[in-house]
Structures are given as C-alpha cells and as structure tokens.
C-alpha cells in the first residue's frame, strides 16, 4: 500500500466536476461522480490533453483535445485516438479531505 497524500477538500470538487492537482510531482485529475471520488492521471496518452478539463458523463471523461475517452474509475482508455490507459489512484475520504494513494 502506498502513501496517502491530501490533495483537496470535498468542497473543491462539486458533483459532476473535476479538478487537477499535483502530488509528488504527478498531475492528477480528481473527479466527483455523484459523490463518489475517483482519481486518474491528468494527461491523455494521445497528445497530452488535460483530462480534468474534459467533459464527464457518468464515469467516463472525454479528452478536450481530440476526443479520447477514459473510465475515471480505472484509467482504462475506452476509445481512440489514445493508445493506452492512464494511471488510476485510490481515493480515500477522511472527514472533508480527499487523499490519494501514491
């Protein structure tokens, strides 16, 4: 098990929204899907688009640059043009704090 690092407060990520954070030199997108928090790498594997700025529908985010789609629960790529998955991080809610396992 990795180290838990505080990245945000629950109120920083409204339902249906995402934010980008930096933790231990890694850029991470934190998503709030109806009160369930998920975290994946923020950089699309196609051309580096910021996934935290993409459109979220349910548990799928679409890269704002070229339309690749990812599952925010697992980081798995769901459609081209992205060639591969992004890293997924376990999110822990402690009180009103969001922590990710690095």
pLDDT for residue 2: 83
**Assigned CATH topology for domain 4-101:** Rieske Iron-sulfur Protein (2.102.10)
The parts of the chain modelled with pLDDT lower than 70 are none
User: Which residue is listed with tokens 């790529």?
Assistant: 77
Beta strands in 10-67 (DSSP E): 18-23, 26-33, 36-41, 55-57, 60-62
Name the residue ranges covered by the structural domains of the chain: 4-101
Closest to 46 in 3D by CA, of 62, 29, 57: 62
Q: Is the dihedral of CA 45, 42, 32, 62 positive or negative?
A: negative
């Amino acid at each position: 098990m990795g180290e838990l690092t505080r990245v945000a407060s629950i109120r920083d990520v409204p339902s249906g929204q995402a934010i980008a954070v930096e933790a231990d030199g890694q850029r991470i997108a934190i998503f709030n899907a109806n009160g369930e928090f998920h975290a994946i790498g923020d950089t699309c594997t196609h051309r580096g688009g910021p996934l935290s700025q993409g459109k979220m529908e349910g548990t799928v985010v679409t890269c704002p640059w070229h339309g690749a789609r990812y599952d925010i629960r697992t980081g798995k790529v769901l459609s081209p043009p992205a060639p591969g998955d992004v890293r997924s991080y376990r999110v822990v809610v402690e009180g009103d704090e969001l922590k990710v396992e690095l």
